[in-house]
Each structure stands twice: as structure tokens, then as C-alpha cells.
Structure 1
Amino acid sequence: MTQVSTDILAVAREQVLAEGTGLSREQVLDVLHLPDDRLEELLAVAHEVRMTWCGPEVEVEGIVSLKTGGCPEDCHFCSQSGLFESPVRAARLDIPSLVEAAKQTAKSGATEFCIVAAVRGPDDRLLAQVAAGIEAIRNEVEIDIACSLGMLTQDQVDQLAGMGVHRYNHNLETARSYFPNVVTTHTWEERWGTLRMVRDAGMEVCCGGILGMGESLEQRAEFAADLASLEPDEVPLNFLNPRPGTPFGDLEVLPASEALRAVAAFRLALPKTILRFAGGREITLGDLGARKGILGGINAVIVGNYLTTLGRPAEQDLDLLDTLSMPIKALGSTI
């Protein structure tokens, strides 16, 4: 194992750090098998890759749920599914509340505001509400607007592009081979189709998933390779925060060392991509882990709360970035 670990980090320095070419599926698996006593070295290599190919800037984003709960899909990790006995109840946000959330997000220093809805895909009413919300936000706040509204038709993709949506989030969630263990009401291929249409329409593609849902290390490496082939602009990395009442509610939280190893592995697979800390990092990594992750390949964070779970106060993340001398990405610039 020691010989493999030495070899793969040497390969990473030559292939990823020097040339900017991401690790393959098999190489990512070698990284995921590294022992804990090589973790600090791995994180250092991943951080060097991030600084070389992305720079020191960190993109900060806030998210808000326009429609919460009552979703018809059976994503086994999600407390917003209407098929599970979870404490989350269906609710909708009005436009003034949406604008206020965007204002508060901008005040935190964030440059990206993502409007999220718990749906299979948007209906006409929801799209009309999104359009009205985007117009109202633009009249009050200078911030890039992203959306996450489930699976789309070509017409809906075109409508969102016409609204000036900066980036569209639609997570593949996990490896193609493991997806049927996570969702049964739609397919991995349906999600992939939406992402392709979004890319072709000129919107930025945001696509990641959740680690720690029972997938094997081989499937985690497969997932990294899936994402690399998609070439997304941003990859949000979530860690399972088991939700009461969901099929995954009794799973164990991913060990911190395993989560950090995955962060570094995904950076080495995607050297030029925005890699964002998202849900579950607080319970999985804690404060020290957040610091190590930002020094181990992460170059974007979601600040504040998530859709149905609490996050870290925005001030804590911003103070950490200041301590690490990592500037917040300016509005309109690119990494």
C-alpha cells in the first residue's frame, strides 16, 4: 500500500500539478486507498493543484428554497420527498422573502445566489414565479443568480437561459452504477440529459453529489470520472447528513479522514473546476476539517444554512477565509 501511495502522489504531481490533466478513474481509486498517514501529504498536493490551476480566490454562495417539501421523487437521502415520513412539510416562499434572502446573501460577501425547488421538474407556475423572483432580485441586488429546479425540457432550458440564469445546478448525486440504490423514480440518464441541454444553452453547469451514501470506494472513483467527463463548471461536494424518516436516516456519518481524502481525490480528478463545500461538512468535518478542506482542494463554499439543515454561520466561514488569506471572488470575475 505504501508503494502505491508514493507512486500515485508522484503521478499526481507530474500529471495534474505540472500538466493540469486530471487523474483517471483508476488513479482516483489509488488516491482513495491511501492510508491515513499519507493524508496530510495528499491534501498538500491537492491544495497546490488548486492554487496553481484555480488561484487563491474562493467563490461564496448562498442558497434558498423557493419550494420546500412535497417532492414526488424518492431520493433516499432527502427529507423533502413526499414519499417519506420526515418532519419537513411543503411550503413556498413569496417574492419579497426571496428578495430579502438575496439581499442577506449579498451582504455576506457572496457573489452567487441559488434558487432551489423540491420538484421533479418545474411546472409553468413555478417557472413564472422564478422569472418574477429573478426580476425582483435584479431590481434590488447585484448578484449572479443560479437555479436548481430538477429535470428540464428543452423549452424550459431555453426559458431559464432567456431569464439570464448564470448557472444551473442538477446533481448526478452518485456513480451511475450506484444510482438505482439511491433513486428509483427517475434515472441517472435523465439527469445527464438535463445537464447536456443546460451546457448547450450556454449556462454554466453545476453538478456534484453526496458522499457517504453506502457507495464503495470503486463507485466513488467512478463518480469522479463521471463528473470529469461532464466537465462541469462547478462541483458541489455534499456529505450525507442522515435525515430522520428517510431510507438513509440510519447510515453512519462518513469519517473525517475519508471525507478529506475524497475532497483531495476529486480535486485531483478535476484540477480546474470550482470545487464547493456543501451540505454535511459541519457534521462530517467540523471546524478543523473545514480548514483542512479549504487547504486540501476546496475553492468555494455555501455559507449559512442549507435547504433543510443548519450550516455554519456565514461569519465563521468568512473569518476562516480571511485567516487563510484567501480572497473572496469578486462579482463578475472568473476563476
Structure 2
Amino acid sequence: MPEILDQARTQVLENGVGLDEAGVLAVLNLPDEHLSAALQLAHEVRMRWCGPEVEVEGIVSLKTGGCPEDCHFCSQSGLFTSPVRSVWLDIPSLVEAAKQTAATGATEFCIVAAVRGPDARLMKQMREGVAAIKAEVDIQVAASLGMLTQEQVDELVDMGVHRYNHNLETCRSYFPNVVTTHSWEERWETLRMVRESGMEVCCGGILGLGETVEQRAEFAAQLAELDPHEVPLNFLNPRPGTPLGDRPVVEGKDALRAIAAFRLAMPRTILRYAGGREITLGDLGTRDGLLGGINAVIVGNYLTTLGRPATEDLALLDDLKMPVKALSATL
């Protein structure tokens, strides 16, 4: 057994203390013959510190496309030639999407907008939308609206938004290669305000942006320092017309190594399957990840890419004897 896995068994599994950056890097560099052992240990860590339940979430875009930022992976940027164009969702459609999400057994419904940060129109739409959802649907409402002011943070709390997603996307040292229109530090400041407000912090990123293995380990360590309630783990699904549109897809074994490593860095965090797992891992790899540290999934489609049908994910969870977390357990 590699030394790093022996260390993790004591430090992480027994004591609940996550691996540091050097330890994460050691896991990311494990040869293929030790991948199964790493995934098994990560699964044991998840079961001990998080339990067997899986949190299911659906997402919907309130405002799609036309974003002024230049995130190089994103087809919603108005600066690229990708085919996504600006569209707003009306309140009845938002409520219907929440109902459809709740019907899958999901406890989380996240409202997303492609913006640098919300303006007065978007905040008004959010207030009306959240109120309409809460009046008709028994589901937790989360939001992802870009960078916030303190006033906007307070307003979201007042609306009843219980979790805020704002991804750091990648490590601090690599971020300028991915985004130039705002800084990593600006994102961190929003996350600080969200945490201090009492809302749950949801923060993850995308693997396969061109970062090195060392930078992947740096990212895991920075997320562990933030200590978010939830980490959505995306794998780049290259979008036509974006600067990263020609990048190769992350190798399945590297993706699984990352899942194990991120779980061993953050033993108590909700680690959520998000975008790109379909093309990176496929059906078999998706199963392996659920048995390797993942304990939450986004069901259905993503913002601009197709996901797996919710019925397939729910059937897989049933096959693995992993119960879907009840809404009462999230309140």
C-alpha cells in the first residue's frame, strides 16, 4: 500500500483531518494500480464522515448568455463566438422547473444567472421567483448570480436563499490563464461575505482547464481552506467558440484520482458530481465515483450542456443502495 494511503487511513478516515496540498498531490500522482485502493479509502471516508445519503439537486438558468466576463471555458460569455445568446426565463417557467426538479426527489433547486453580478432587474426577478417557488414547491432554493455586494448578500438572505454557489473555478496561481476580466480575489471576497451571512457556501470548479497536477492539488488545498459546505466538481466539456473549445477531455482515471484526492482533502464536505462527468467518466466511471467519495449529484441537464436523465442517476443510486437525502435532513 502506498505510504500516502496509509497516512490518509489514519489522518483522514480515523481522525477526520483532511490531507494537505502535498498529500493531495501524492494521491493525484498515484499509479493506476493503486487507483482502486484510493477510491475505496475515499468511499470509506465519505461513509464515516458524511454517511450514505446522497443529496440530489437540479439547476435552471434564470438569465442565459450575454455575460460580459471572459471565463475561457464558458459559452455564455458575450465576448466569444459560441452560439449561446441572451435569454431570460419568466417566473411561471421558473416555478415549473422547480416542480419538475422536486418531482425527481431533489431537495435543492439552484437558480443561476450568467452575469458578472446581479443588477436591480435580476434581484427583483430573484425576489419574485423565490417567493413564487416557496409558495408552491417544497424545496430548498439556492442561487448562483456571480459576484455580490454586501447589500445583495443581505437581500438574498432575506429572500430565504439558503445556499450560494460561486465557484473559484481553479487555483489562485492558474486563474489569470482562465479569466482576465475579474480576479480570483474578487470571487473569494464574495464567498467570505456569503459565509459570514449564514448562507451555506457552495464553491468548486472545473478540472481540465490546462492546469498542472500540482495546480490541481493547490486548488484542492485552497478549497479545503475555504471549508465550503459543498464542492461541485466539474470536468471540462469543451464548448465550440470558446478559447478552451479545443482542449482534450480529462482522462477518466485522472478524473477518478481527483475525486478520491478531493474527498481525502475535505472529508466532511458535500462533494457533488456536476458538469462534464458524462463525457469524462461515462456510466461505469460515474458508478466508480459514487463509490469513491462523491455524495451528491446534479440531475438532468446543466446550463448549456446535456446531462444524464434524472431517472438514470436515481436508478443508479437505488442499485448502489444509496438513499436520496430527504428534504427534512437539509433543513
Which residue, out of 249, 269, 292, partners 2:288?
292
Structure 2: segments with no counterpart, 5+ residues: none
Structure 1: segments with no counterpart, 5+ residues: none
- Separation in structure 1 between the aligned mates of residue 317 and residue 173 of structure 2, nearest angstrom: 37
Residue in 1 that maps onto 2:54: 58
Name the amino acid aligned to 2:208: G
Name the amino acid aligned to 1:287: D
Residue in 1 that maps onto 2:167: 171
Is 2:207–2:236's contact at 8 Å kept on the other side of the alignment? yes
- Separation in structure 2 between the aligned mates of residue 172 and residue 40 of structure 1, nearest angstrom: 29
Which residue, out of 32, 45, 62, partners 2:28?
32
Which residue, out of 194, 208, 214, partners 1:212?
208
- Separation in structure 2 between the aligned mates of residue 166 and residue 305 of structure 1, nearest angstrom: 22
User: For residues 200-242 of structure 1, what are the alpha-carbon distances to aligned partners after superposition, in whole Å with 9 as ceiling and x for unaligned?
Assistant: 0000000000001100010000000000000100000000000
Is 1:99 the counterpart of 2:95? The answer is yes
Which residue, out of 122, 139, 142, partners 1:146?
142
- Separation in structure 2 between the aligned mates of residue 223 and residue 333 of structure 1, nearest angstrom: 29
SS of 2:134's partner is: helix
SS of 1:332's partner is: helix
Residue in 1 that maps onto 2:11: 15
Question: Offset of 1:84 from its aligned partner?
Answer: 0.1
Residue in 1 that maps onto 2:69: 73
Residue in 2 that maps onto 1:41: 37
Name the amino acid aligned to 1:70: G
Question: Offset of 1:332 from its aligned partner?
Answer: 3.0
Provide the aligned C-alpha RMSD in A.
Answer: 0.8
TM-score w.r.t. structure 2 length? 0.99
User: For residues 14-64 of structure 1, what are the alpha-carbon distances to aligned partners after superposition, in whole Å with 9 as ceiling and x for unaligned?
Assistant: 000000000000000000000011111110000000000000000000000
4+ residue segments displaced more than 2 Å: none
TM-score w.r.t. structure 1 length? 0.98
Is 1:192 the counterpart of 2:188? The answer is yes
Residue in 2 that maps onto 1:333: 329
Residue in 2 that maps onto 1:301: 297
Question: Offset of 1:121 from its aligned partner?
Answer: 0.1
Question: Offset of 1:334 from its aligned partner?
Answer: 4.4
SS of 2:62's partner is: strand
Question: Offset of 1:102 from its aligned partner?
Answer: 0.1
SS of 2:56's partner is: strand
Name the amino acid aligned to 2:165: N
User: For residues 91-122 of structure 1, what are the alpha-carbon distances to aligned partners after superposition, in whole Å with 9 as ceiling and x for unaligned?
Assistant: 00000000000000000000000000000000
- Separation in structure 1 between the aligned mates of residue 330 and residue 33 of structure 2, nearest angstrom: 35
SS of 1:105's partner is: helix
User: For residues 132-152 of structure 1, what are the alpha-carbon distances to aligned partners after superposition, in whole Å with 9 as ceiling and x for unaligned?
Assistant: 000100111000000000000
Q: How many residues align?
A: 331
Residue in 1 that maps onto 2:222: 226
